[in-house]
Structure 1
């Protein structure tokens, strides 16, 4: 008798994307959208709620059309009534992108103007209604999120029993326990309530062993460790392996997101120690005016605006510094650089040793403890700068050392990426559907 062939069930995956914009530079956004694109490529129905500027929507829809995918753009005004009976209008656009992901987009500028973040109660009322309605309309098998608002919405959703709820832990600050609880704005709005809700989820994805161990150590919370989907690290234009750079004759030393807990003090110390070297930083979500002013006072430091096109970084720098002092979840920027053969000098904070995959250099640091200044910045312990000075001088001055490290970095990082299971996340999500 012939064996019946196994038919893989199709999932309907609904992602709530809290990042502001369709192409923000944060690692968490990249992980979220890469997961959705991977699942779409594997034949599953995917949709996300997100925020975007008008020009971003136009650009993404045009790219879809260029690849023969009908974006099916819609533009509607959705009336909403808050608990006080006041009427509001939300501009919503929808389209299908080049990865066949359906996007339900809140116009970022108009939404922030109509529902400012300082009027949190009104903003929450609108989002709860909006998210809940779209979950009902899409009829998902899984709802994926990394924010407390969606966790609360799905906890009491009328159709709660028809879908699995999955939380992605991108930072220790998201977790409602431990020394870093509520260390980032927008996380842990109500730790006690969120802690209880976490225990009722169908799955929690930790993006590193460091996060998984933190969740267990401080909250006895069981999570699943999965490396980011391989597509997170593929070339975004071609979908293939990243192009290895030959940047031995470049002069810039790069760092992304300069701020205290990302190692601003180490960058400043190195720039002062080596006034003949050129440093360039790309500002990001943690870079406040006071932080940038420290760098502006240094003549050998250039500050660039945030970029979502990381090729601008990889085409420019000889070495990447990642001197982070907080409990990093993974450090996507480390992996991105190494895949392109760019040596990375990183700290050993949190999940950075995992991202380094045994490559030089990974330097011990004194991590932040969770103590914070009045302005919200973490209190940063004094650091031993000598190992950073030695590593940077060796890589920048010794051409043979650089050439050998460049080749080793590109080869080992490429082998690591090719060794990942491209269906790992799909298998995990499907396994939830088999559970009774």
Structure 2
């Protein structure tokens, strides 16, 4: 039975990290295919509040707490353990409310001791990981020195100077877009597979398509576009409810974006906000259409894939990997060329006009919406676990069989 260790610097169940959830779900695919899988990570999270324990509880995960032996290591923290329904045993170093980037300075030595124990006792064939801090890289090298193959889950633009990636046995990206970028910038060869989606977390059992939904209205995700879009839709069609899911981008940030353009979004009753949910399924239960006007170059655009498998048509920008993620099942609408990450005032009404037109048609034309929903569902078939899981298993089997 092949053995794989998932090694992450943050909570594998972090609802604010698509990367963490992607790697965790890939491990579930492997466990279901007969692999022996364990995970070593921390409770650090990118979610607002930074409380990993609370996030676990919200997802119904009950863990056992192991108190530290402070007679030997006086600054050690508790370790939480649990085994999930896939048989994956997970050990989490409780890093309190420290950020993902902050815990290594205080608790890195304890994490390294836990890691050394996993390498010695579990003896994995593969370590599957992400993270580019010095401690992360040293752990990859320690695995390689022990004869363990290392697969890096590359999910963002943060590694264009990371020449150490070439030392690893394989690099797995989330899109052809990302693979092409790293080939151009770093000469790095990699394999692209769409991020895996866990059906229980992503697919809503029942749907009532009501809301035009935008997730995480941050600057990167198009806050200064969304502010104008919300204003125009609310003025033209106050009967159409728009729902904004907070994450790093908050209701306050979107309101401030509107105020920078001279309008106050708080006066519109049709605009609603809700905190981040534990699972995407909760978002798409009431979603009619997804709005994703990302300004930055999304490595993939996981939320678009999540919309598709729920038969929710996504309207996405033409930047980064979003068109690839939409997979022909949504509407790809260009953003103004002068809308950048440095933009700090809302775009003009003309810039959002094509989006407003699609929103109104998807709201008013039942036949058009039904066709769009069917097209979304068909495009989402390739993301469904029964179709994607075999591709992940095949990839890791190839890594396992490759020469050392």
TM-score normalized by the length of structure 2: 0.82
Q: Which residue of 2 aligns with 1:411?
A: 378
State the Cα deviation string for residues 244-268 of structure 1 (Å, max 9, x = none).
7352xx2x21111111111112211
Q: Which residue of 2 aligns with 1:89?
A: 76
Describe the SS at the equivalent of 2:8. strand
For 1:169 and 1:334, the matched residues in 2 are separated by 19
Runs of 4+ residues over 6 Å off in structure 1:
58-63, 378-381
Correspondence list, 1:125-140, <5 A: 125-140=109-124
Q: Which residue of 2 aligns with 1:180?
A: none
State the Cα deviation string for residues 350-405 of structure 1 (Å, max 9, x = none).
11111111123111235799x866xxxx8799683232122222212222211221
For 1:167 and 1:156, the matched residues in 2 are separated by 12
Contact 1:154 1:165 in 2 (8 A): no
Aligned residues, how many?
381
Deviates more, 1:412-421 or 1:87-96: 412-421
1:274 matched to 2:237? The reply is: no
Q: Which residue of 2 aligns with 1:100?
A: 87
C-alpha change, 1:143 and 1:295, in structure 2 (3 Å) is farther
For 1:48 and 1:226, the matched residues in 2 are separated by 21
Contact 1:90 1:106 in 2 (8 A): yes
1:157 matched to 2:127? The reply is: no
1:317 matched to 2:287? The reply is: yes
Deviation at 1:17, TM superposition (A): 2.6
State the Cα deviation string for residues 192-240 of structure 1 (Å, max 9, x = none).
xxx23111010000110010011011111111112233xx142349xxx
Deviation at 1:74, TM superposition (A): 5.6
For 1:217 and 1:118, the matched residues in 2 are separated by 32
Q: Which residue of 1 aligns with 2:46?
A: none
Q: Which residue of 1 aligns with 2:47?
A: none
Q: Which residue of 2 aligns with 1:187?
A: none
What stretches of structure 2 of length at least 5 have no aligned partner? 44-51
Contact 2:297 2:321 in 1 (8 A): yes
Q: Which residue of 2 aligns with 1:148?
A: 132
Give the structure, 1 or 2, with the largest relative contact order (CA under 8 Å, sep 6 or more).
2
RMSD: 3.3
C-alpha change, 1:128 and 1:80, in structure 2 (3 Å) is farther
Contact 1:245 1:342 in 2 (8 A): no
Contact 2:76 2:107 in 1 (8 A): no
1:430 matched to 2:363? The reply is: no
C-alpha change, 1:57 and 1:392, in structure 2 (3 Å) is closer
Describe the SS at the equivalent of 1:167. strand
1:28 matched to 2:15? The reply is: no
Contact 2:206 2:285 in 1 (8 A): no
Correspondence list, 1:336-355, <5 A: 336-355=306-325
Q: Which residue of 2 aligns with 1:76?
A: 67
Equivalent position to 1:304, from 266, 274, 284: 274
Correspondence list, 1:191-206, <5 A: 191=161, 195-206=162-173
C-alpha change, 1:143 and 1:157, in structure 2 (3 Å) is same
Contact 1:132 1:154 in 2 (8 A): no
What stretches of structure 1 of length at least 5 have no aligned partner? 1-9, 64-70, 178-190
Describe the SS at the equivalent of 1:302. strand
Q: Which residue of 2 aligns with 1:67?
A: none
TM-score normalized by the length of structure 1: 0.77
Q: Which residue of 2 aligns with 1:245?
A: 207
